[in-house]
Structure formats: structure tokens, C-alpha cells
């Protein structure tokens, strides 16, 4: 068993760049252990991940706010507090806050994460417009 108290989580201050666009507050809840990594991420309005995929999939649990998740195959979906998302192994996707809202989610990543390019402002704007329509 491994117990990590909340006060011991490797939190970061506001962060831009890396694999995020916009301001995020990322807390490493469980460092990679047996191929599982758990992060709790607070996204400011419009902040999002880069395109990426996970070797064995990813689970997203929305804790607060409103967000978006987008896959190449399914397009954009709106996320609300309490929603759970399963991204199967190898599915290319991104996720983040809606344009006018904050969002907090816990991400359980299984296996290796392969990061790709940034989600452009145009792609994000198209996704935001689609969720409003």
C-alpha cells in the first residue's frame, strides 16, 4: 500500500507551457506507480492540454466547473461536475476548461503518455463554438 497525504502532494504554482495552453494548477496526486499516474488539475477559463494519447487509456473525473474533451473520432463533448470520461488506449484527445469557466478534474493515466502538438486557438475556438451550438 502507498498512502500519500494531501499535504505531501507535489503541487505546482500556476503553470503555462509544457503540455498545457493557458494557466493551470497541476497537483501530482500519485507519481507514476506501477504504470499509473494521478494528477488533479485546476484549469483557468480556456486552458487546456495539448493533443495526446495514453498507452493503456485515461480516466477523467470532473470535480468542479465546466470543461471540454475532444477526440479526433468523436469531436467535442461538454463536461460538467460529476462527469467521468474514459479515453481508451491510443485514443488521441485533449481536455480542458470551457471558455467562460474554470474546471478541476482528476486524471488517472495508465501507462505511457505520448504528447503531441498544441491545440491551436482556432481548434479550441471551433470546439467552444460547437459546444454552444
From the DSSP assignment, how many helices (H) and strands (E) are in the chain? 1, 12
* 30-81 pLDDT, tens digit each: 888 899 999 999 999 999 999 999 999 999 999 999 999 999 999 999 999 9
List the chain domain ranges: 10-132
Q: What is the pLDDT of residue 48?
A: 96
For the chain, the average pLDDT equals 87
The CA distance from 117 to 41, in Å, is 19
Q: What is the pLDDT of residue 33?
A: 86
* 87-97 pLDDT, tens digit each: 999 999 999 99
Please identify which residue in the block is written with the cell numbers 479550441: 124
- Does domain 10-132 match CATH 2.60.120.10? yes
The CA distance from 8 to 73, in Å, is 38
Q: What is the pLDDT of residue 133?
A: 52
Amino acid at each position: 500500500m502507498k498512502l500519500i497525504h494531501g499535504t505531501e502532494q507535489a503541487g505546482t504554482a500556476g503553470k503555462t507551457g509544457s503540455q498545457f495552453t493557458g494557466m493551470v494548477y497541476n497537483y501530482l496526486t500519485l507519481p507514476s506507480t506501477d504504470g499509473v499516474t494521478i494528477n488533479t488539475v485546476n484549469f483557468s477559463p480556456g486552458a487546456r492540454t495539448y493533443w495526446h494519447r495514453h498507452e493503456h487509456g485515461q480516466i477523467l473525473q470532473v470535480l468542479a466547473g465546466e470543461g471540454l474533451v475532444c477526440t479526433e473520432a468523436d469531436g467535442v463533448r461538454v463536461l460538467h461536475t460529476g462527469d467521468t470520461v474514459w479515453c481508451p488506449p491510443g485514443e488521441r484527445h485533449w481536455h480542458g476548461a470551457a471558455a467562460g469557466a474554470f474546471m478541476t478534474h482528476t486524471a488517472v493515466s495508465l501507462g505511457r503518455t505520448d504528447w503531441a502538438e498544441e491545440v491551436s486557438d482556432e481548434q479550441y475556438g471551433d470546439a467552444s463554438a460547437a459546444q454552444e451550438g
